[in-house]
């Protein structure tokens, strides 16, 4: 059973997403106009199933009310029992009530982890200040609470922050971490990729950090199977197949390709003997598809 370990869904009538309401506002990943509409399971599932994918991981996507989004995703999972769907929710891990928030999320059977973005893109990070989380002692405590509750952490950041982030994560060795979008290598020049690969080692050296081969079209809408080859190869070399997993990042990455092209690019790049692991097993184990989160261990 192949798994898409990173995608989004949204119903604009059920949940309010401020960024999807901001028409005419370009983002670092491009002009979002074409995806500022409902994107529901049936549409995603048609693309995924055509490519042999039979289950998926929904990642939070900037709803105004994180619990409302999580409950809506839970309803989607409940109403589609033939499609295994688990989710990663948003929670401010530096909040004073982080324990009660995470406990509330954990009552939803589809919840497996938390994402709080540290870095998106240089131009947006300079305004958002999300990088400051790494210097916040409360954030570190929130990561520890996350681990204690058996939840994982989806990590989105830039290469510039990897060393500092690794220093924080080293203090929570029992926290399962999924690095989103291969660590967002936004500089695709030869020197840029060399620098990204070097910074990536700070995270790949931590045995509890895994890597998602996802979102590679956000910083390069003209990508090809050949152009992403050094990124895919570096991730597999550093993390190994047992710590790498595929994610489409749809519908965001639909701005740079269709689903078929995306899967085909990975099919061409990943060695045949590694495909079962990267396209299925790693995600199944990391996100505990076969068990409840309470029984999902680091090993």
pLDDT, position 33: 85
Q: Say whether pTM exceeds 0.85.
A: yes
pLDDT, position 291: 59
What distances in angstroms separate CA 190 from CA 165, 195, 226, 230, 279, one per listed residue?
A: 24, 9, 14, 10, 28
Q: Angle 255-13-246 (CA atoms, 0-180°, nearest 5)? A: 35
pLDDT, position 167: 98
Instruction: Give the contacts of 276 (CB within 8 A, at least 6 positions apart).
Output: none
Q: Which has the minimum average pLDDT: 140-144, 214-218, 293-297?
A: 293-297
State yes or no: pLDDT of 63 exceeds 60: yes
State yes or no: pLDDT of 297 exceeds 80: no
Give dist(CA 14, CA 21) in Å, integer: 13
163: pLDDT confidence band, cut at 50, 70 and 90? very high
3-state secondary structure 265-283: HHHHHCCHHHHHHHHHHHH
Give dist(CA 155, CA 117) in Å, integer: 7
Region 158-167: mean pLDDT is 96
Q: Which two tokens stand for residue 121?
A: 């893109």
Q: Which two tokens stand for residue 24?
A: 């005419």
295: pLDDT confidence band, cut at 50, 70 and 90? very low
The secondary structure element, H or E, covering residue 58 is strand 53-59
279: pLDDT confidence band, cut at 50, 70 and 90? very high
| Mean per-residue pLDDT of the chain | 94
State yes or no: pLDDT of 9 exceeds 90: yes
**For 245-265, how does the pLDDT look when each residue is reduced to its tens digit (9 = 90+)?**
999 999 999 999 999 999 999
pLDDT, position 296: 58
- The total of other beta-carbon atoms located within 10 Å of residue 204's CB is 22
8 Å CB contact between 293 and 111:
yes
CA-based radius of gyration for the chain: 18
State yes or no: pLDDT of 299 exceeds 50: no
Q: Which two tokens stand for residue 252?
A: 């965001």
Domains and CATH numbers, the chain: 2-295 (3.20.20.140)
8 Å CB contact between 89 and 61:
no
Q: Give the max Cα distance, the chain.
A: 48
Q: Which two tokens stand for residue 180?
A: 């989103």
pLDDT, position 131: 80
Please report, rounded to a whole number, the percentage of residues in the chain having pLDDT higher than 90: 86
Give dist(CA 118, CA 285) in Å, integer: 25
Give dist(CA 196, CA 159) in Å, integer: 6
Q: Which has the minimum average pLDDT: 22-31, 211-220, 240-249?
A: 22-31
**For 92-131, how does the pLDDT look when each residue is reduced to its tens digit (9 = 90+)?**
999 999 999 999 999 999 999 999 999 988 877 767 777 8
Instruction: Give the contacts of 2 (CB within 8 A, at least 6 positions apart).
Output: 51, 52, 53, 54, 55, 246, 279, 280
Q: Angle 37-42-43 (CA atoms, 0-180°, nearest 5)? A: 50
């Amino acid at each position: 059973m192949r798994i898409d370990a990173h995608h989004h869904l949204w119903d604009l009538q059920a949940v309010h997403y401020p960024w999807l309401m901001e028409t005419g506002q370009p983002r670092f990943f491009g002009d979002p106009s074409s995806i500022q509409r409902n994107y529901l399971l049936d549409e995603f599932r048609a693309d995924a199933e055509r490519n042999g994918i039979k289950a998926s991981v929904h990642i939070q996507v900037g709803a105004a009310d994180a619990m409302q989004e999580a409950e809506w995703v839970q309803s989607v999972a409940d109403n589609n029992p033939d499609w295994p769907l688990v989710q990663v929710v948003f929670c401010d891990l530096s909040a004073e009530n982080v324990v009660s928030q995470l406990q509330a999320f954990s009552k939803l059977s589809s919840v497996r982890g938390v994402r709080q973005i540290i870095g998106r893109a240089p131009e947006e990070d300079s305004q958002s200040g999300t990088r400051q989380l790494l210097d916040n002692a409360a954030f570190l405590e929130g990561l520890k609470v996350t681990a204690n509750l058996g939840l994982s952490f989806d990590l989105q950041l830039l290469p510039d922050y990897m060393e500092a982030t690794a220093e924080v994560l080293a203090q929570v060795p029992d926290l399962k971490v999924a690095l989103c979008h291969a660590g967002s290598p936004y500089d695709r020049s030869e020197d840029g990729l060399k620098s990204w690969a070097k910074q990536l080692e700070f995270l790949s050296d931590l045995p509890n950090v895994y890597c998602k081969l996802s979102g590679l079209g956000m910083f390069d809408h003209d990508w090809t199977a050949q152009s992403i080859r050094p990124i895919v190869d570096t991730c597999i070399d550093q993390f190994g197949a047992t710590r790498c997993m595929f994610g489409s990042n749809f519908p965001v990455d639909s701005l740079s390709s269709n689903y078929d092209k995306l899967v085909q690019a990975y099919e061409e790049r990943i060695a045949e003997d590694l495909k079962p692991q990267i396209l299925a097993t790693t995600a199944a184990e990391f996100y505990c598809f076969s068990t409840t989160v309470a029984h999902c261990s680091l090993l």
